[in-house]
Amino acid sequence: MNAENAASSDKPLLKVLLCSPRGFCAGVVRAIDSVEQALKRYGAPVYVRHEIVHNRYVVESLKAKGAIFVEELDEIPETNAPVIFSAHGVPKSIPEESQRRNFFHLDATCPLVTKVHREAEIHHKRGRDILLIGHAGHPEVVGTLGQLPDGAITLVQTVEEAETVTPRDSNNLAYVTQTTLSLDDTAEIVATLKRRFPNIIAPHKEDICYATTNRQEAVKRVAPTVDALVVVGAPNSSNSRRLQEVAEREGCRYSVLVQRAADIDWSKFEGIKTLGVTAGASAPEVLVEEILDSFAARYKLDVQTVSGADESGMFFPLPRQLRDTAAA
């Protein structure tokens, strides 16, 4: 037996259940491709308002290629360079300001977020009060609130708030939701609103996006069967944080959200026999592989994929201005 085989045999066995689907969704792919194609077509710099997606690895990779990230448009000098809006969506005031400054802007908002914006606009035109189920301060929520005049949309974050919210006209009411919420938490809030306001109008199709739904369902299957579960993602990523919460709710003894392998507290994994691994919709697969490599340095891995919904057919076209570049 050579030294490598001996070292391998000394490692404890760890069964790893790898959730599928995990990682990038079609909206994230579209947003990242928008920045990369803009750099290819127009050259550096390309300005991006807010993180294009909530993942530091992705942002740093795009910075290295020539993207400049800003939080507000007033950080951008007078320029002919493209200005890209992130996947989370922006208030209407942002493209309006961009036009005033004669910026060439590209909108990388996820089409499923745009769908929520359009729903809210339609409800407003029909004179309805609108409730938005979501988390205060999240860029997607800020963008949705900013589609309409102040006061047109009321934010509801919890079941408790759903119990106390007082719309102006309870018989002329609709709700929309942030796309990256917990399915279970949202269902409780919606049930409360429907009980209090039986005539409330729901979205024609669930606002929580397919990727959020599919990743949470995969975690629900894995979490009860493992000793610990790792979610690869950023702390400011709503969908990643919800995956950790789902794992805890489903009975996983220890679940943790990490950005990189260096973030792992190995003392928390002592004695485990089974491990679940997933990734938020903005986390690249290379980071999942990095996590697995770190466990492989300490354990002999038996990796099994737990497959759920098939997302292979999901695709969103790039912003119109970039499509010919991508095709070429």
Give the residue numbers annotated as catalytic, written as ranges.
140
Q: Encoding tokens for residue 207?
A: 């606002």
The rounded distance, in Å, linking the Cα atoms of 52 and 211 is 17
**Dihedral-angle region of residue 194 (phi above 0 means left; psi in -120 to 50 means alpha; beta otherwise):** alpha
Residue type at position 246:
V
The rounded distance, in Å, linking the Cα atoms of 153 and 82 is 31
Buried b / exposed e along 251-274 (16+ C-beta atoms within 10 A): ebebbbbbbebeebeeeebeebeb
User: Bridge partners of 176?
Assistant: 132
DSSP class per residue in 132-182:
EES-TT-HHHHHHHTTS-TTSEEEE-SHHHHHH---S-TTSEEEEE-TTS-
- DSSP letter (8 states) at residue 201: B
246: part of which helix (H) or strand (E)? Answer: helix 238-249
User: Bridge partners of 69?
Assistant: 48
Is the sign of the CA dihedral 220, 223, 225, 230 positive or negative? positive
Residue 137 CA to its chain's centroid (Å): 15
Residue 28 CA to its chain's centroid (Å): 8
User: Bridge partners of 274?
Assistant: 15
Residue type at position 234:
A
